[in-house]
Chains A and B, each alone.
Chain A
Amino acid sequence: MSAADGRRGQILVLGSIVAALVLVGVYLAAGGASYTPEKSQDPCQDRPWSDPQGLGEIANQFSNSALDGAACELGVTRETLARALATPEARERFNERYGIDDEKLAEAIRAGLLRAIEDAEEAGALSPFIAGPARGVIEEIPLDRAIELTRDASSLLGGVGGYLGPAGELLEGLLP
């Protein structure tokens, strides 16, 4: 093999290295390494409330805070819990998978509702004068009532709405 042939071989290998590096570099620069689904937020971390305007928006954020609180208690993500509350079958599968019963689930939901009140109070969406009695009301919700709230759910957010419903009514009643 001549020296020219050897050089052509070296050029081919170098050209291949350059082509491979350019492709990888361009794809990395275009965000190839971060093209992943967004990770679920730790439900035990605070989720900042945006400026709540009107009862609908408060109810929305209240619902998310309550889900976070309950999910934190159970050691699952807010999203997993929200899907579990969609239908009674989904809740049954969830209980089976995580080895919990309805009582524990109801306790967790109650804890979540209490956290939602606290978050609403911190965000200025709920006056401290109202938050206190609201806590009392939620603490007194019997377990079977808490379970009933989730049983009423007919879909993912139906479940959320199911237990938010009385809380929403509660808020409506307590808000000026």
Chain B
Amino acid sequence: MSGVPRPRLAALALAVGLVLADSSIVVLALPEIYRELDTSVAGVTWVLISFNLVMALAAVPAALLARRVGPGRTAAVGLAVFAGAGLACGLADQLSTLIVARCVQALGGAAAVTAALELLPATVGSERRATAVWASAGATGAALGPAVGGVLTELVSWQSIFLIQFPIALIAAVPILAVARHEAATGIVSAELRRTGRPHVLANLALAMVSAAIAAALFLLVLLLIEGWRMTPIGAAIVVSAMPLFAILASRFDSFVPSARARAAAGAILIAGGLAGLALLPKAEIVLTLPPQALIGVGLSLVLSALTETALGGRAPQAIHGGWTISARHAGVVIGLLALTPIFTSDIAEQRQDAIDAGTAVILDSRASPLVKIELAQRINEQLEGEQGRVPTIAPAFEPLPEDPAEREAVVGLREELQDQLDRGATHAFSPSFLLGALLALLALIPIGLARRVEL
């Protein structure tokens, strides 16, 4: 790539990575936002849904805008809007303000990402290479997003996730400003105007379904780890990093199978299998989430690259078709979240109740002395009330343990049984939603299969 303007290439890749990371970066911060802004699980998911919805709606119009007024100007303005709205997100003290700022952020993001695809061919020398850089920058951003978000949430605050984007977006905008200035001075739009071809409907439809399934996997797994299994955001970030890690490892083997349809079908099957595995976890243990995550990671690497390749292959202009893929992926995320949130929220309430009932039964049926039972029950009641809907950590209610060895043993046994019931309830609450995610991944096989016969 001799002669490639490296600062501009880096800036474009950074812009794409930053914006696409934003659709998932906030996932690990949701429990924190949920508590701090005193909202509901359904309400807090709109922090994710709003961004993805506006991205889905704005991607294609933004691509058309980039071709009309110039990709340099569109990308520079898009990044400035994205940065400013990010600042507003970080300063928001109400859920409604945060959601509005997220919508504006997505508008800027859509402009920056689609314009970047228009600028990249001139920067790297070919449309094919540009698509590869654009897709890998986006995939890297989306993969790193949750982990970075988790670390920032725990070490600093959820607000820092958005505040840190302000300088990064401005840094990415600086090299692009030169193109924008050139366009303004000469009135020349760098990309040649061509007729826009029809989008690849089946590939984009499959992308939407698979994205819905992936959103389910990521969003639900994070909530299971933090809200159900009481992990810290950093701990959860480390655990969910397994998924992108397997995706990165698998991406090296994409070229071994040239058939995009086979890779897409295999990817969708693996994602469905991984989600079914998460729905059938036989115990609340982190290590058991790794095999399903491996399947989902490998699957998403196979299916996203194959479908993006199919949707963009031989179609011009790239920015418009890139806009369609962005639109399909984010629409899928929105559909996934909208379909799963009501199921998930009602299931978690019901399972929490079942778990608390089972825990109460453990105490009532135990052979501990009535005095020990009374004291324990009082403390457990306080613990349950203090957790405000979250699956409670029950251990503090058992401290200090009785001094008498026999009673101590009985109380420890009770604690373990009670915690087991709560873990069962928390884990099982996610099962129907994970299964629905698996079904969405399997449904993607329909457009993938149809694409074998009908080439649009």
Contact = CB atoms under 8 A, between A and B. Distances in A.
A12 B266 contact: yes
A90 B384 CA distance: 13
B68 interface: no
Interface residues of A, number: 52
B274 A23 contact: yes
B18 interface: no
A131 B338 CA distance: 59
Interface size class on chain B is 35 or more
Contact of A37 (B277, B281, B288, B428): B428
Given A23-B295, A56-B369, A13 B266 contact: yes
Interface string B272-295: 111011011111000010011001
A12 B257 contact: yes
Interface stretch (B59-67, B110-118, B223-231, B350-358): B350-358
Interface stretch (B101-109, B207-215, B360-368): B360-368
Q: Taking chain B's interface residues, is the majority helix, strand, or loop, or is none over half, making it mixed?
A: helix
Given A12-B257, A79-B364, A156-B378, A20 B270 contact: yes
B123 to A, nearest CB: 31
Interface in B270-326: 270, 272-274, 276-277, 279-283, 288, 291-292, 295, 299, 302
A91 B360 CA distance: 16
Identify which of A17, A30, A35, A63 gathers the most chain B CB atoms within 10 Å of its CB: A35
B222 interface: no
Contacts of A80: 357
Identify which of B256, B266, B276, B424 gathers the most chain A CB atoms within 10 Å of its CB: B266
B201 to A, nearest CB: 22
Interface string B248-283: 000000001111011101110110111011011111
A19 B357 CA distance: 37
A41 to B, nearest CB: 8
Contacts of B370: 56, 59-60, 157, 161
Contacts of A63: 364
A63 B377 CA distance: 15
21 contacts: A8-B257, A9-B257, A9-B263, A13-B265, A19-B295, A20-B295, A24-B273, A27-B282, A27-B288, A31-B282, A35-B428, A36-B351, A36-B425, A37-B421, A37-B422, A40-B361, A79-B357, A79-B361, A87-B381, A155-B374, A156-B363
